[in-house]
């Protein structure tokens, strides 16, 4: 995923530092695909939920993203871009 005007690496750093949530930013071993979809060179932000992830962890991740976005876009509209 991407959030307009916020670098995936910056979001990942904030999620890790402030919320203890680890995600993977970048090109995910496929720079040519990112060139094709227009996300090169910044890439995207990837959450890797698995069979041991809980619904609560997913909800906490969403709430953390909302807080990050609202902090950066207090008076502006933002657009969540899903991949």
Give the CATH number, domain containing residue 28: 3.90.1150.10
Does the pTM surpass 0.85? The reply is no
Q: How many CA atoms lie within 13 A of 32 on its CB side?
A: 0
* Per-residue three-class SS string for 26-69: ECCCCHHHHHHHCCCCCCEEECCCCCCCCHHHHHHHHHHHHHHH
CB-CB contact of 3 with 70 (8 Å): no
Q: How confident is the model over 20-63, as pLDDT tens digits?
A: 999 999 998 888 988 898 888 889 999 999 999 999 999 999 99
Domain that holds residue 56: 2-81
The total of structural domains in the chain comes to 1
- Distance, in Å, from the CA atom of 8 to the CA atom of 45, rounded to the nearest integer, reads 5
């Amino acid at each position: 995923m991407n959030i307009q005007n916020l670098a995936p690496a910056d979001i990942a750093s904030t999620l890790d530092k402030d919320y203890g949530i680890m995600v993977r930013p970048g090109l995910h071993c496929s720079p040519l695909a990112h060139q094709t979809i227009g996300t090169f060179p910044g890439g995207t932000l990837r959450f890797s939920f698995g069979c041991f992830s809980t619904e609560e962890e997913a909800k906490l991740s969403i709430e953390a993203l909302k807080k990050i976005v609202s902090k950066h876009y207090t008076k502006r509209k933002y657009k969540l871009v899903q991949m």
